[in-house]
Amino acid sequence: MRKFSWFNATSLTFGFAFLYLPMLILIIYSFNESRLVTVWAGFSTKWYGELFQNKAFLDAAKVTIKVAFWSSTLATILGTMAAYIMVRTGQFRGRGLFSGMIYAPLVMPEVITGLSLLLFFIAIGLDRGVITIVLAHTTFAMCYVSVVVTSRLVSFDQSLEEAALDLGCTPFDAFRSVTLPIIMPAVISGWLLAFTLSLDDLVIASFTSGPSSTTLPIKIFSAVRLGVTPEINALSTIMIGLVTIGVISASLVSRSMSIKAKADERRAEQD
- Report the residue number, 41 or 224, with the smaller CB distance to another protein: 224
Evaluate the CA torsion angle 256, 258, 259, 263 in order and state its sign.
positive
User: Does 26 sit near another protein (CB under 8 A)?
Assistant: yes
What burial letters (b/e) apply to 248-264, b meaning 16+ CB within 10 Å?
eeeeeeeeeeeeeeeee
Of the residues 41, 165, 257, 259, which one makes contact with another protein according to CB under 8 A: 165
Among 218, 243, 192, smallest CA distance to 71 is for: 192
Least CB distance from residue 154 to another protein, whole Å?
10
Least CB distance from residue 184 to another protein, whole Å?
8
Binding string to another protein for residues 58 to 87, with x set by CB under 8 A, is what? --------------------xx-xx-xx--
Least CB distance from residue 45 to another protein, whole Å?
19
Alpha-carbon distance of 119 to 115, in angstroms, equals 6
- Report the residue number, 56 or 101, with the smaller CB distance to another protein: 101
Least CB distance from residue 53 to another protein, whole Å?
21
Residue ranges in 195-214 that form contacts with another protein under rule CB under 8 A: 196, 199-200, 202-203, 206-207
What length is written for the chain?
A: 271
Q: Which residues pair with 32 in a beta bridge?
A: 43
Residue ranges in 250-269 that form contacts with another protein under rule CB under 8 A: 251, 255, 261, 264-265, 267-269
Show Cβ contacts of residue 215 under 8 Å, excluding neighbours closer than 6 positions: 60, 63, 64, 67, 133, 201, 205, 209
Asked if residues 63 and 131 have their Cβ atoms less than 8 Å apart, the reply is no
Cα distances from 160 to residues 86, 131, 184, 209, in angstroms, run 18, 39, 15, 45
Alpha-carbon distance of 216 to 200, in angstroms, equals 9
Residue ranges in 120-139 that form contacts with another protein under rule CB under 8 A: 120, 122-123, 135-136, 138-139
Of the residues 65, 87, 131, 182, which one makes contact with another protein according to CB under 8 A: 182
Of the residues 42, 43, 96, 109, which one makes contact with another protein according to CB under 8 A: 109
Show Cβ contacts of residue 108 under 8 Å, excluding neighbours closer than 6 positions: 140
Asked if residues 194 and 79 have their Cβ atoms less than 8 Å apart, the reply is yes
Of the residues 111, 126, 188, 257, which one makes contact with another protein according to CB under 8 A: 111
Q: Which stretch binds another protein (CB under 8 A): 48-56, 65-73, 101-109?
A: 101-109
Alpha-carbon distance of 63 to 132, in angstroms, equals 12
Residue ranges in 221-240 that form contacts with another protein under rule CB under 8 A: 221, 224-225, 227-228, 232-233, 236, 239-240
User: Does 17 sit near another protein (CB under 8 A)?
Assistant: no
Alpha-carbon distance of 164 to 168, in angstroms, equals 7
Of the residues 105, 129, 131, 210, which one makes contact with another protein according to CB under 8 A: 105
User: Does 172 sit near another protein (CB under 8 A)?
Assistant: yes
